[in-house]
Amino acid sequence: MTKKIWMVTLLAFVTGCFCAVIGPKIKTQDLSFNGSEIIPFILCFLICAAVNILIAIVVKKLDSGIKNEKIKAATNKLGDTKLLLIVWGVIFVFWLPAYLVCFPGILSYDIINQTRDAMGVIVDNHHPVLHTWLIRVFMRFGESVFGSYETGLGFLSLVQMILLSYSLARVVILLKKYKVPMLIGIFTALSYALWFMNACLAVTMIKDTLFAAFLVLFVCHFTEIVIDPEQYMKKKKNLILLAIIGFFLCATRNNGFHIYLFCFAGLALFRIKDIKKIKVYIALLAAILLPVLAFKIYTGPVFDAWNIKPGEVREALCIPIQQLKRVETHRLDRLTEEQTALMRYYFYNTPGTDVAAGGHGYEPFTADCAKGLFSSQAYNEDPMAFWKFYLEIGFHFPKDYVVAFLSNTLGFWYPGQDEFTYVEYYNYPVEWFSVPLERQSLIDLKAVDAYYAGLCTSPFWRTTPVLNIFFVSGYIPWIVLLIMILAWKSLKQYLKVFPVFLPIIAQYGIMLLSPMASFRYSWPLFLLLPISFIAVWHSNDISQPPT
């Protein structure tokens, strides 16, 4: 316990550095040090240290057996299947008012471009083709059967609600299965049901919703593989479900494929020494590789047959683009003529872009403007030349690269940045769509409508301490690091339990590469956090892989 106290105290020190010193400086873009940060740092450190130590003590007591045995007995009597159905039903019912009021769903974010492609021709994978295709199928179904595109989208919203609520119910059952105190399981279930962000995003026509559902399902399966692969493989349906869920994880969002590969590559790295007879895992290996093969066929020959192009490479280069653009903005006078020419070549080589003086289009906290000026064609002509140029500029201006990265990701590690933590509630105007689409509430509940609108648009939830933990992504890395420390028992046990954190690490890494610190990018991580509790309470029971 003493070792954990020291570890959580060190975490408090690091948290204080980032949240009381580095974060405010990056937010104001004033990088000078004048000593005024010392008092806030000390206060932040003391508060974080006290909270961390208190949590460590409470967890230790819970780990020692202070649990509600009556609740545990009641849930055991119900059985996993009945409990799953109850939790699933509770979550779904609590979300139902949002569905009835927002029917056919919240039409915002990327829906304008996606409905245009769905009603016309899908030309690229900028928005996942599978999701756009689903929009097409449901809209055409609604129009042909009910004479209404909105009705079709309403059915798609319902599918999203069913899948997402089921996946979250699976999390609660997983917590019970791996001995997380049921009080935490109940709190998790109620949080999923009552957290209005879930209800609103569940009925939003956006790729993030289906991706979140399949990501949570995938992580449930992955966690079972981490803890006891032999027991997991005894149920053959698990292998079939893993293959199906794995494919949809990859196909519903472009970075799902990277999360999938990272998790299993990391698991193999941590467990390779324990695997004595590889043949024991042949069936599992086949189930793991099948989604990779299917996804490559889907994005290869299938896309080629449909004349679908991959998304533009600039979507994956937000951080390098921001770093180069910051150098152009702040250090243009220190660039050589050749470097200036290359900067213009990569950023203003697309028809219609502005070729005015350098510095145009840089905003520290979002890459969208700079990304819009970047030429994917120039990059594709010679990727190695771009990276050579990128490294050369970084060698001369490393501080600008660091500041650009910290600025673009600020909301993902600094709790004081809540600029992009909003959730869209109102639909876009009807005239913006290629075909008329508007909200057609199934029940006229003005009070409920006002309730959701107020919750989604009010800054109160994002600016009030403690409450904003549920809305501001900047708390996430510090919470995850604290949970990682709480999971420590011994090095040997920790190496076996650590892979439980791999999906969270992968999702967070993807977030850091995003164009901005938007809440919808971090939302799946909020849903995954309860699964990490398994590493804390089950670390004494991690099974040895079969030999």
Percentage with pLDDT > 90 across the chain: 69
Q: Which is nearest to 411 in space by CA: 522, 327, 528, 532?
A: 522
Whole-number average pLDDT of the chain: 90
> Is the CB of residue 137 less than 8 Å from the CB of residue 159?
no
User: Domain locations in the chain?
Assistant: 2-63, 83-308+423-541, 313-396
For residues 476 and 525, give the distance between their C-alpha atoms in angstroms, rounded to a whole number. 8
Tens-place pLDDT, residues 155-169: 999 999 999 999 999
pLDDT band at 418 (very low <50, low <70, confident <90, very high): confident
Percentage with pLDDT > 70 across the chain: 93
Looking at residue 355, its pLDDT comes to: 47
Residue 247 makes CB contacts below 8 A (sequence gap 6+) with: 290, 291, 294, 295, 298
Q: Distances in Å between the alpha carbon of 350 and those of 230, 312, 346, 374, 377?
A: 54, 13, 9, 8, 8
pLDDT band at 271 (very low <50, low <70, confident <90, very high): confident
Half-sphere CA count of 435, side-chain side, radius 13 A: 16
Looking at residue 547, its pLDDT comes to: 32
Mean pLDDT within 31-39 = 85
The Cβ of residue 453 has, within 10 Å, a number of other Cβ atoms equal to: 14
Lowest mean pLDDT among 302-316, 381-395, 401-415: 302-316
pLDDT band at 446 (very low <50, low <70, confident <90, very high): confident
Q: Which token pair is 395? A: 């060698």
> Is the CB of residue 426 less than 8 Å from the CB of residue 108?
yes
Lowest mean pLDDT among 90-99, 266-275, 339-348, 485-494: 266-275
The CA-based dihedral angle spanning residues 478, 320, 399, 392, taken in that order and rounded to the nearest 10 degrees? 140
Give the 3-state secondary structure percentages of the chain, helix then strand then coil, rounded to 5.
75, 0, 25
Mean pLDDT within 280-304 = 93
Mean pLDDT within 172-187 = 90
CA 73 to chain centre: 35
Lowest mean pLDDT among 59-73, 140-154, 189-203, 514-528: 59-73
Mean pLDDT within 189-213 = 94
- Alpha-helical (H) ranges within 103-206 are 111-119, 129-146, 149-177, 182-194, 196-202
The CA-based dihedral angle spanning residues 518, 8, 265, 290, taken in that order and rounded to the nearest 10 degrees? -60
SS3 (DSSP) at 546:
coil
Long-range contacts of 177-181 (CB under 8 A, 24+ apart): 177/80, 178/223, 178/227, 178/534, 178/537, 178/538, 178/541, 179/537, 179/538, 179/541, 180/533, 180/534, 180/536, 180/537, 180/538, 181/62, 181/67, 181/68, 181/537
Looking at residue 539, its pLDDT comes to: 63
What is the rounded end-to-end Cα distance, in angstroms, of the chain? 33
Would you say the pTM of this structure is higher than 0.85? yes
Give the phi and the psi of residue 124 in degrees, each rounded to 5. Answer: -150, 175
Quickly tell me which residue has 């769905």 as its tokens: 118
For residues 169 and 192, give the distance between their C-alpha atoms in angstroms, rounded to a whole number. 9
Q: Which is nearest to 201 in space by CA: 292, 112, 99?
A: 99
| 503 vs 446, residue with greater confidence | 503
Mean pLDDT within 367-384 = 92
Residue 543 reports pLDDT greater than 70: no
For residues 115 and 45, give the distance between their C-alpha atoms in angstroms, rounded to a whole number. 49
